[in-house]
A and B are shown apart, each in its own frame.
Chain A
Amino acid sequence: GENVEQHPSTLSVQEGDSAVIKCTYSDSASNYFPWYKQELGKGPQLIIDIRSNVGEKKDQRIAVTLNKTAKHFSLHITETQPEDSAVYFCAASPPSFGNEKLTFGTGTRLTIIP
């Protein structure tokens, strides 16, 4: 089955600086890679996703890059703000039409220092 590794486990960044979180996956059949943000006591919220037919996707201050050859993908947050502080999870999935499973990384606790 799929195995997703995520680094770093904790990350502290000065407000306004950029944060980068990296994930690697093992199953070459995976082609869907979402990123979730989880705030304390809440469920994960999808913030961005990427499919294997693209190498990069950007949404305002958030971007995700994918290297299928190396089997790794990264989340980039620019101009960080205090409200970006949360736990971020990457995930990977094979082609899905409904019931295929997501495999999650171990999470990164991001702290933005004011």
Chain B
Amino acid sequence: GAVVSQHPSRVICKSGTSVKIECRSLDFQATTMFWYRQFPKQSLMLMATSNEGSKATYEQGVEKDKFLINHASLTLSTLTVTSAHPEDSSFYICSARVSGGGYNSPLHFGNGTRLTVT
């Protein structure tokens, strides 16, 4: 149980275009989802916390107008990288906890999206 599905797994886009990444909780509801970014051989850096039905909370230094997050339902959050540039190339990973899963319920991760901007 507690599967997080992320799509697409890989995407290549041209500079200036926008890319949407979907994150779905397949067998549970998630009031909150988290979006991370990971550079090669580095740790996971939290970008934003996505809250169902409300605005996302962005970490310091993350441009909210560039990384648009929408959490329209209890099972889907989307991250849109707008006007992508080569420096946005990275591995983006979403994660979620089971809503009402109790104290310190585990955080489950998707398999990530490798974005390459040419």
The reply to whether B31 and A107 contact each other, CB–CB distance below 8 Å, is no
Does B53 make an interface contact (CB < 8 A)?
A: no
Check A114 for interface membership: any CB of B closer than 8 A. no
How many residues belonging to B are interface residues under a CB distance threshold of 8 Å?
29
Which residues on A sit within 8 Å (CB–CB) of B106?
A: 34, 46, 49
Please tell me which one of the listed residues A31, A98, A105 contacts residue B97 in the complex, with CB atoms under 8 A apart. Answer: A98
Contact assessment for B34 and A101 in the assembled complex, using a CB-CB cutoff below 8 Å? yes
The smallest C-beta distance from A37 to any residue of chain B, in angstroms, reads 11
Minimal Cβ-Cβ distance residue in B for A33: B104
The CA-CA distance from A45 to B103 in the complex, in Å, is 19
B43 touches A89 (CB 8 A): yes
Q: How many residues of A contact B (CB 8 A)?
A: 26
Contact B42 A51 (CB under 8 A): no
Known: A95-B103, A99-B51. A43 touches B34 (CB 8 A): no
Q: A98-B32, A98-B97 are in contact. Are A43 and B110 (CB under 8 A)?
A: yes
- Asked if B74 CB lies within 8 Å of chain A CBs, one says no
> Using a CB-CB cutoff of 8 Å, which residues 39-94 of chain B contact chain A?
41-44, 46, 49, 51, 93
Contact assessment for A51 and B107 in the assembled complex, using a CB-CB cutoff below 8 Å = no
**Chain A residues engaging chain B, CB cutoff 8 angstroms:** 31-32, 34, 36, 41-46, 49, 51, 89, 93, 95-99, 101-102, 104-107, 109
Apart from A104-B44, A107-B42: 17 A-B pairs, beta carbons within 8 A: A36-B109, A41-B111, A41-B114, A43-B93, A43-B95, A43-B109, A43-B111, A44-B93, A49-B104, A49-B106, A51-B104, A89-B44, A105-B43, A106-B42, A106-B43, A107-B41, A107-B43
A-B contact pairs, 9 of them (CB 8 A): A96-B104, A97-B102, A98-B97, A98-B99, A99-B32, A101-B49, A104-B43, A104-B44, A105-B43
